[in-house]
């Protein structure tokens, strides 16, 4: 697609180095990688992700989502995922954009756009082939990076058009989960938010269910349908991701990191860390640092 080629060209023009790059458009981030990468955990916010060049894979629970040029992903909750670039070279780097959803703008549009007739599976993340209308809307937003005088006026309009295309398209029902305060998916969203704030503390499923107004069995069923994980698996991923970040970024030792994220037993932490990341904590952090140093060389 010519439009996709131009989108890749605009991204490449604005990001000459690997990594994630903020832009003058508040909620827009551009990403570039000239090599394949190690699987890295992160928490995806509600957002649109569009790959313009290269390939990546993202794992949510037991599900794997594959992004390729012209495929976009929709995330409607804060979800712990593991992602890595699987196809990229210095001559043809991986190029991607992320647009965080503005819930106020989305909510106002949702009131004006007729709801879709068909429902959608409750999973909080999906990857689909992009249509021409959405591609054109994304390109119009990106072009404003080269027109700073027009950006304050046309930027919100271009962002609204993207949200409109998503609401009016096949992902419309899923997009409405972001703004809805009713129904099981909304209750699961509140459970996700509660765990995100309290993941360092131990909790029982009965307490969490009471917090969001569901029975324990209903919460377990619907939470897994949305996140591909149980609530306790979700908490564990948040704990392990936070511990990994503390050790890698803040140079905190294994025992201290384990205690800070809520583990009472460093040995249990090390076992679960190895099971999740494939190596013991110290060896994994050393490998990541070596990989980062090689990429920066």
> Quick one: pLDDT at residue 255?
94
> Quick one: pLDDT at residue 118?
67
> Quick one: pLDDT at residue 115?
80
> Quick one: pLDDT at residue 238?
94
Residue 289: pLDDT band with limits 50, 70, 90: confident
Give Cβ neighbours of residue 202 (< 8 Å, ≥ 6 apart).
262
**Longest pairwise C-alpha distance within the chain:** 57
Task: Judge whether residue 297 has pLDDT over 60.
Answer: no
User: Degrees (nearest 5) of the Cα angle 5, 74, 127?
Assistant: 70
The CA–CA distances, whole Å, from 211 to 90, 190, 195, 233, 295 equal 49, 9, 11, 18, 45
End-to-end Cα spacing for the chain = 35
Task: Centre a 10 Å sphere on the Cβ of residue 97 and count the other Cβ atoms it contains.
Answer: 25
Residue 40: pLDDT band with limits 50, 70, 90: confident
Share of the chain above pLDDT 90, in %: 73
Contact assessment for residue 96 and residue 56, using Cβ atoms and an 8 Å cutoff: yes
> Quick one: pLDDT at residue 102?
92
Task: Judge whether residue 293 has pLDDT over 70.
Answer: no
Beta bridge partners of 83: 40, 58
pLDDT in tens, 216-233: 999 999 999 999 999 999
pLDDT in tens, 129-169: 999 999 999 999 999 999 999 999 999 999 999 999 999 98
User: Degrees (nearest 5) of the Cα angle 212, 216, 219?
Assistant: 60
> Quick one: pLDDT at residue 39?
86
Task: Judge whether residue 258 has pLDDT over 70.
Answer: yes
User: How many Å apart are CA 7 and CA 5, to the nearest integer?
Assistant: 5
Task: Judge whether residue 96 has pLDDT over 70.
Answer: yes
**Chain-wide mean pLDDT for the chain?**
91
């Amino acid at each position: 697609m010519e439009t996709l080629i131009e989108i890749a060209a605009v991204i490449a023009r604005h990001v000459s180095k690997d990594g994630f790059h903020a832009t003058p458009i508040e909620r827009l981030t551009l990403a570039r990688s000239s090599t394949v990468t190690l699987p890295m955990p992160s928490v995806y916010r509600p957002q649109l992700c569009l790959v313009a060049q290269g390939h990546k894979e993202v794992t949510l629970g037991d599900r794997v989502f594959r992004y390729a040029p012209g495929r976009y992903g929709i995330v409607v909750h804060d979800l712990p995922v593991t992602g890595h670039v699987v196809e990229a070279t210095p001559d043809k780097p991986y190029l991607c954009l992320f647009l965080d959803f503005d819930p106020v703008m989305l909510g106002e549009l949702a009131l004006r756009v007729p709801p879709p007739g068909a429902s959608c599976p409750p999973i909080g993340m999906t990857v689909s082939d992009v249509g021409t209308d959405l591609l054109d809307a994304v390109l119009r937003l990106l072009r404003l990076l080269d027109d700073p005088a027009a950006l304050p006026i046309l930027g919100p309009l271009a962002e609204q058009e993207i949200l409109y295309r998503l609401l009016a398209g096949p992902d419309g029902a899923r997009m409405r989960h972001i703004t809805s305060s009713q129904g099981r998916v909304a209750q699961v969203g509140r459970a996700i938010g509660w765990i995100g704030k309290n993941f360092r503390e131990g909790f029982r499923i009965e307490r969490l269910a009471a917090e969001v107004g569901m029975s324990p069995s209903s919460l377990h069923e619907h939470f897994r349908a949305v996140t591909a994980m149980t609530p306790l698996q979700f908490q564990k991923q948040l704990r392990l991701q936070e511990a990994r970040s503390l050790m890698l970024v803040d140079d905190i030792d294994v025992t201290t990191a384990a205690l800070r994220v809520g583990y009472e037993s460093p040995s249990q932490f090390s076992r679960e860390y190895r099971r999740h990341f494939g190596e013991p904590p110290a060896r994994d952090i050393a490998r990541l640092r070596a990989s980062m140093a090689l990429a920066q060389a």
